């Protein structure tokens, strides 16, 4: 992926964002929701908190997202599930999305229409960034997806990732939510993220212990301690103790247990954690034997332990259980088709992605997985080229995806040098779709032209990229260096 996004342990962060000075936090009156368009659902009004004459309002959930944000799209089924669960309990969920070049009103409308009932909650468009400024920037939130839950009195009660909102939403709706504790834990989590950024691992442990003192039944800080003790501090006995505590707290939560099992299987010394990983996944399967995602975690655990036959049995069960879930089939295919995985590049990978494509033939993400499998596992360059061209057509309006695809073909192994013509097709499509004014997309287009022998066109495009790039951008030196390379004609 080309210099667009990076993933932290907590959230998808925009690389271009700078840290905002937070002045909106837990317990504060919620700002008015100022949006330009309601794409789906009836308008929702956020009433001012503190008005004694005002009756209690609905619990309002604002989820900030964008069409180009993979984790946002992955969260949509869960957000829909939450709205359906609480639709008769006075809860209104709104997905709020702000305008940018790759997230226009027309793109959002088309995306929401394609989602249909899978995105079964309100959607608001923030053309001028007013809602984004009032919530995201004011709260110091630099990435999406991010969710704000507003309680019945009009206060901000919780801020976090939409996949983590189940418990706080249930407590807020039932009146059992302790907003004072939430205020303290939110501040600690902000400090913990800063400590992560500074790689102050001992402080991370101290802050995790502070969270445990406030929320003794929460497994998350115990898993934070496990990751730090296992990876950064190299204290396996402390890591195992933390993981044991997390597993004990989640004995009735199959999906969380399977998530822990995955993490244990990826530990620095997996053999030391295998018994606990097995315990966690066996309990998860006992609770949810027909859950395809839990079965997929079982495959990962068994594969890491090089129990190949058992792993493939689990993989077959995943595909059978997930036959009506193209998203999970695609995820399984990505894992099964990873040549670096212990049991990677099995024929089941292609079978799973073909099923996903059959269910969603226009989903370009599935097509990309098939492209990768054909190249990395089958060395089928001709077949990959064919699916790649179809992929570019299906993603013809998705400039960011096209840019990433082209850049990967030009620079990543094992694609580099084998798909220059396809990379040029994708880059040119991206150029026209985006309007030709993005210096990053121009940079990709210029490199594609260069690799295909069009030196004059490459120089022209790269000069425009340099012209459009902000002077203080850390990428400026790289753009200029590539321009000089194009002028010399040396690869």
Residue-wise pLDDT tens digits, 453-468: 999 999 999 999 999 9
Q: What percent of the chain has pLDDT over 70?
A: 94
Dihedrals phi, psi of 459, to nearest 5 degrees: -65, -45
**Average pLDDT of the residues in 120-146:** 95
Helix (H) or strand (E) run with residue 59 in it: strand 59-64
CA 328 centroid distance within chain: 15
Q: What percent of the chain has pLDDT over 90?
A: 78
The DSSP bridge partners found for residue 6 are 13
Please determine, for residue 269, whether its predicted confidence score (pLDDT) is greater than 90.
Answer: no
Q: What is the pLDDT of residue 474?
A: 87
Q: What is the pLDDT of residue 8?
A: 31
Identify the DSSP state of 32: P
The DSSP bridge partners found for residue 28 are none
Q: What is the pLDDT of residue 136?
A: 96
Please determine, for residue 389, whether its predicted confidence score (pLDDT) is greater than 70.
Answer: yes
Give CA–CA dist 441/307, Å, rounded.
44
C-alpha distances (whole Å) from 188 to each of 181, 185, 193, 246 are 11, 5, 9, 19
Please determine, for residue 204, whether its predicted confidence score (pLDDT) is greater than 60.
Answer: yes
In order of their start, the domains of the chain are: 19-177 (3.40.30.10)
Closest to 282 measured CA to CA, from 297, 267, 263: 297
**Average pLDDT of the residues in 105-112:** 94
Q: What is the pLDDT of residue 49?
A: 66
Q: What is the pLDDT of residue 271?
A: 74
Task: Check the CA dihedral 290-294-299-305 and report its sign.
Answer: negative
Q: Give 350's pLDDT tier (boundaries 50, 70, 90).
A: very high
Q: What is the pLDDT of residue 55?
A: 64
CA 410 centroid distance within chain: 24
């Amino acid at each position: 992926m080309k210099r667009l996004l990076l993933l932290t342990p907590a959230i998808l962060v925009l690389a271009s964002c700078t840290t905002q000075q937070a002045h909106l936090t837990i317990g504060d009156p919620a700002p008015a929701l100022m949006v330009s368009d309601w794409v789906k659902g009836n308008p929702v009004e956020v009433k001012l908190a503190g008005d004694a004459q005002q009756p209690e309002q609905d619990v309002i959930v604002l989820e900030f997202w964008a069409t180009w944000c993979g984790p946002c799209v992955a969260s949509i089924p869960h957000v829909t599930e939450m709205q359906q669960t609480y639709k008769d309990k006075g809860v209104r969920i709104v997905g709020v999305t702000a305008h940018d070049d790759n997230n226009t009103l027309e793109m959002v409308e088309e995306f929401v229409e394609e989602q249909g009932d899978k995105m079964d909650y309100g959607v608001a468009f923030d053309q001028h960034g007013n809602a984004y400024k009032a919530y995201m920037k004011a709260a110091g939130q630099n990435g999406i997806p991010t969710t704000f839950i507003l309680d019945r009195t009009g206060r901000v009660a919780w801020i976090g990732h939409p996949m983590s909102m189940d418990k706080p939403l249930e407590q807020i709706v039932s009146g059992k939510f302790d907003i004072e504790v939430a205020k303290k834990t939110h501040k600690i989590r902000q400090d913990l993220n800063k400590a992560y950024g500074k790689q102050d691992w001992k402080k991370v442990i101290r802050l995790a212990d502070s969270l445990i003192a406030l929320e003794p039944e929460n497994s998350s800080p115990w898993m934070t301690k496990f990751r730090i003790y296992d990876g950064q501090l190299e204290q396996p006995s402390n890591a195992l103790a933390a993981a044991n505590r997390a597993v004990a707290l989640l004995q009735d939560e199959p999906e969380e247990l399977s998530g822990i099992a995955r993490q244990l299987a990826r530990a620095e010394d997996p053999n030391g954690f295998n018994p606990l990983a097995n315990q966690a996944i066996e309990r998860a399967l006992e609770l949810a034997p027909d859950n395809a995602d839990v079965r997929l975690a079982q495959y990962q655990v068994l594969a890491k332990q090089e129990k190949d036959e058992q792993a493939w049995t689990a993989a077959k069960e995943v595909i059978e259980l997930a036959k009506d879930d193209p998203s999970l089939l695609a995820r399984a295919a990505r894992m099964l088709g990873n040549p670096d995985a212990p049991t990677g590049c099995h024929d089941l990978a292609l079978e799973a992605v073909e099923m996903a494509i059959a269910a969603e033939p226009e989903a370009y993400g599935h097509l990309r997985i098939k492209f990768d499998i054909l190249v990395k596992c089958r060395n089928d360059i001709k077949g990959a080229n064919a699916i790649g061209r179809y992929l570019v057509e299906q993603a013809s309006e998705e400039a960011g995806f096209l840019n990433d695809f082209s850049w990967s073909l030009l620079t990543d192994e094992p694609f580099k040098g084998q798909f220059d013509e396809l990379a040029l097709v994708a880059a040119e499509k991206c150029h026209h779709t985006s309007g030709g004014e993005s210096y990053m997309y121009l940079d990709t287009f210029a490199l594609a032209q260069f690799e295909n022998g069009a030196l004059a066109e490459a120089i022209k495009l790269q000069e425009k990229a340099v012209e459009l790039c902000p002077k203080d951008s850390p990428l400026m030196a790289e753009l200029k260096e590539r321009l000089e390379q194009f002028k010399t004609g040396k690869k």
